Amino acid sequence: GEFYRQPMFYAMAHFSRFIRPGAVVLGHSIRSNSGIMGVAVKSVDKTIAVVLLNELEEDQEVEIRYKTSSIFVPVKGQSINTVLYRGALK
């Protein structure tokens, strides 16, 4: 038989690369009509990973806020992106 990798295979590979065993899901919010789905986790090494999935065909800009700082992240249409915070956050 033949083996075909479906798009879900690549999505799961992306999520599992950044969300490792022992990670804790952090509270977060996303506007429900944005077409963006995401999850924020804190790993055992204190790295925070924010994984974003843009379901729409249009590119979007996402604001990520943490405590008193924020960044704007461009997210291409129909893509998965990850933002990592290492060391600088407590």
Instruction: Decide if 15 is inside a domain.
Output: yes
Q: Which residues contact 38 (CB under 8 A, 6 or more apart)?
A: 28, 30, 50, 51, 52, 53, 62
CATH number of residue 72's parent domain: 2.60.40
Q: Which amino acid is at 34?
A: S
Q: What is the pLDDT along the chain (90 residues), one digit of tens a residue?
A: 787 777 778 888 888 899 999 999 998 877 767 889 889 999 999 999 999 999 999 999 999 888 788 889 999 999 999 999 887 555
Whole domain around residue 14: which residue ranges? 7-85
**Residue 41: what pLDDT?**
94
pTM: 0.81
